[in-house]
Amino acid sequence: MKTAKPAATADKLTSAHAHEPGHTHGNSQEAALTLAEEYCRERGEKLTPIRRKVLELLLQSGRATKAYSLLDEMRQIHPGSAPPTVYRALDFLLAAGLVHRIESINAFTVCHDLTQCQHGILVVCQQCGNVTELHQPKLRQALVAQIEDAGYRLASDDIELKGLCSACQAAEAAASSQKKPAAPVAIAK
Contact present, 108 and 101 (Cβ < 8 Å): yes
In the annotated binding site for Zn(2+), the residues are 125, 128, 165, 168
* Listed residue (123, 105, 114) closest to 169, CA to CA: 123
pLDDT at 27: 72
In the annotated binding site for Fe cation, the residues are 119
In the annotated binding site, the residues are 119, 125, 128, 165, 168
Q: Report pLDDT digits (tens) over 72-121.
A: 999 999 899 999 999 999 999 999 989 999 988 899 999 877 655 456 78
149 located within any domain: yes
Beta strands 121-125 and 159-163, pairing class: parallel
Q: Check which CATH number belongs to the domain holding 43 and give it.
A: 1.10.10.10
Full residue range of the structural domain in which residue 154 is found: 7-167
Domains contained in the chain, number = 1
189 located within any domain: no
What pTM, to 2 d.p., does this model score?
0.74
Percent of the chain with pLDDT over 70: 78
Higher confidence at residue 169 or residue 23? 169
25 located within any domain: yes
Q: Report pLDDT digits (tens) over 123-161.
A: 999 999 888 888 888 998 999 999 999 999 988 778 899
